[in-house]
Copies of this chain bind each other. A is one copy, B any other.
Amino acid sequence: MFRPEIKVIDCTVRDGGLMNKWQFDDAFVGKVYRALNEAGVDYMEIGYLSSERAFSRAEVGPWKFCAEDDVQRVTGGAKDRIKLSAMADIGRIDHDDIPLKADSSLDMIRVACYVHQMDAAIDLAHHCIDKGYETTINLMAVSTVKPRELEEALDDLAQSRVPVIYLVDSFGAFYSEDIDILAKKYFAALPGKTIGIHAHNNQQLAFANTIAGIIAGINYLDGTLYGIGRGAGNCPLELLISFLKNPKFKVRPLIEAIEEQILPWQEKIDWGYFIPYMVTGTMNEHPRAAMAHMESDRKNKVTEFFDQMTRPA
């Protein structure tokens, strides 16, 4: 039996955009939008919500901002459609730059933060709630958060009005048992709240860890088409949709979108399972050193990368 509380959030454009500075053209974003609609996916995270001051449009594509006219252009302003989400990073968006929900195509704003930004994150999330949005807080890189800090953060979140809190494995460092133990901790600390999971695939465990999350009671599930996303990428949406038993989900539109729009990007950017990402994942490190190595002309010199990462300081 399927669990009707489960919501699937596609992050193809938002997390995939971390690999190409959100330089997806309208054909890409439009195709993904229509495919997700048809597949029965619950939310499409179409990018980041950023202030124009924070980034230059000469450097990053439109999905780093999610301006209303850009969103309307690719979604055709349709009414009967998948919900749209955008992610907000602390310090990259001013409160005044967030439109009222009534003036926006966005349905949900997800506030991403590190543990030391929790107060600012709750403040921004409350602001989004007050403007009419569904809101989540995504506490990133929890695999590096010390136990006391995590307790304090969860305590702050428990007292907030934010209804959905995400367990985020930014570094792809967790095994399924870690997810199980952390999910129990989140549920115990956050009575009445919904928990979400966002996994990375450094150890080829993003899908398995998402399933572990489902078994533990997690109901908001992130994925991307063919796993496109930062570094090793995310939980492949087509696998997740094949696994879930809700008859509203269809996998064929996702495969069609992968064929038309995702496979061509594989020629240009390297997400997925590569040894440098595996090394940072097993070491519980940010993937930035691996990404730099992958972008260099020494990409296949994986032993060199391993030695660089494991050399005694």
Contacts and interface: CB of A to CB of B under 8 A. Distances in A.
A116 interface: no
A303 B259 contact: yes
A285 to B, nearest CB: 13
B278 A238 contact: yes
Given A278-B239, A302-B258, A306-B252, A205 B207 contact: yes
A306 B256 CA distance: 9
Q: What is the interface of chain A mostly: helix, strand, loop, or mixed? A: helix
A289 to B, nearest CB: 15
B300 A256 contact: no
A187 interface: no
A278 B238 CA distance: 9
A53 to B, nearest CB: 40
A303 B239 contact: no
Copies of this chain assembled into the complex: 2
A249 to B, nearest CB: 12
A181 interface: no
A145 interface: no
Interface string A293-306: 00000001111001
A90 interface: no
Given A259-B300, A303-B259, A238 B176 contact: no
A114 interface: no
Contact of A239 (B203, B236, B259): B203
A282 interface: yes
Nearest to A206: B204
Contacts of A282: 239, 242, 251
A55 interface: no
A239 B205 CA distance: 10
A106 interface: no
A243 interface: yes
A306 B255 contact: yes
Interface string A70-89: 00000000000000000000
A208 interface: yes
A24 to B, nearest CB: 19
Nearest to A215: B177
A211 interface: yes
A162 to B, nearest CB: 31
A54 interface: no
Most buried by B among A203, A205, A208, A307: A208
14 contacts: A175-B211, A176-B208, A203-B242, A204-B204, A227-B273, A251-B306, A252-B306, A255-B302, A255-B306, A258-B302, A259-B275, A259-B303, A263-B302, A273-B273
Interface of A: 175-177, 201, 203-209, 211-212, 215, 226-227, 236, 238-239, 242-243, 251-252, 255-256, 258-259, 263, 272-273, 275, 278-279, 282, 300-303, 306-307, 310
